Amino acid sequence: MAKTISRSANRILFLLILLLFLIGGSLFYVWSRIQVIQLGYEISNALKEERALAESNKRLRLEIATLKSYSRIEKFAVEELRMTKPKPDQVIVIR
């Protein structure tokens, strides 16, 4: 009789341990899939941000080129600062 109880207790213990492993494995699988999906969203957002920053970089480079333009600087000097072109005898060439 004691062997029968012991044997059925061992089976129940084995089934409980097996059930715990199955539940643990399932939970781990679900958690890992959620992590993969979350990382996918983060990568997508990072790529969107990269594209936005690249576009902003292009606009800023264009603005720099425009602001450095010789004709714009000359127009600003003449109109805003009331400067005139120097006479030839006012120019000193430095080498």
Q: Which of 6-15, 53-62, 76-85 has the highest mean pLDDT?
A: 53-62
Residues contacting residue 77 through CB under 8 Å, at least 6 positions apart: 83
- What's the pLDDT tens digit per position in 27-73? 999 999 999 999 999 999 999 999 999 999 999 999 999 999 989 99
User: How far, in Å, are 12, 21, 35, 72 from residue 7 at the CA level?
Assistant: 9, 21, 42, 95
Q: How far is CA 4 from the centre of its chain?
A: 63
pLDDT band at 85 (very low <50, low <70, confident <90, very high): confident
Query: The tokens 């990382």 sit on which residue?
Result: 39
pTM value is 0.59
